[in-house]
Amino acid sequence: MAKIHKTEAEWRDSLDPETFRVTRLAGTERPFSHPGFPKSAGSFKCACCGAELFSQETKYESHCGWPAFYATKEGAPVAETRDLSHGMVRVEVHCDDCGAHLGHVFPDGPQDKTGMRYCINGVSIRFEPNEGAEG
Ligand SMILES: [Zn+2]
């Protein structure tokens, strides 16, 4: 059950068009449209509601064109649903607090870690540096 309820019009007003399209209409941003998030220590938060979803520590370079993480932040409200669109069976991931579509999770992540790859749209998340972190 999502904690945050807004109408489509309310989300449209509070988000930029690309973020709205991806998070609320389950879109996908163009690959490689987010080349650079800062590499400094910090968290990635839901672009819609600000819930902490991922940590910089679990971000890795997957070369798939989208930010990739091998794990969610402990206790993060990341929920999964089976996605049968585009003739594929995939696992969609979204923010359980507000229902924002984030991306998909695939079982081809780093084997020395969790083996999972959270393939996340860059516009669905916002980077926030840790308090007092350098750079
Ligand atoms: Zn959210």
Query: What are the catalytic residues?
Result: 119
Query: What pLDDT is recorded for position 8?
Result: 93
Per-residue model confidence as pLDDT tens for the chain (135 residues): 578 999 999 999 999 999 999 999 999 999 888 767 889 999 999 999 999 999 999 999 998 899 999 999 999 999 999 999 889 999 999 999 999 999 999 999 999 999 999 999 999 999 999 986 554
Q: If you measure from the C-alpha of residue 66 to the centroid of ligand 1, how many angstroms do you get, rounded to a whole number?
A: 19
C-beta of residue 98 within 8 angstroms of C-beta of residue 4: yes
- Number of domains into which the chain is organized: 1
Residue 87 in any domain: the answer is yes
Ion ligand 1 nearby residues (CB, 5 A):
46, 48-49, 51, 95, 97-98, 100
CATH number at residue 97: 2.170.150.20
Half-sphere exposure of 84 (CA within 13 A, CB side): 0
Residue 16 in any domain: the answer is yes
Residue 91 in any domain: the answer is yes
Q: If you measure from the C-alpha of residue 124 to the centroid of ligand 1, how many angstroms do you get, rounded to a whole number?
A: 9
Q: If you measure from the C-alpha of residue 99 to the centroid of ligand 1, how many angstroms do you get, rounded to a whole number?
A: 6
Give 34's contacts (C-beta < 8 A, 6+ positions apart). Answer: 66, 67, 122, 123
Residue 1 in any domain: the answer is no
Q: If you measure from the C-alpha of residue 97 to the centroid of ligand 1, how many angstroms do you get, rounded to a whole number?
A: 5
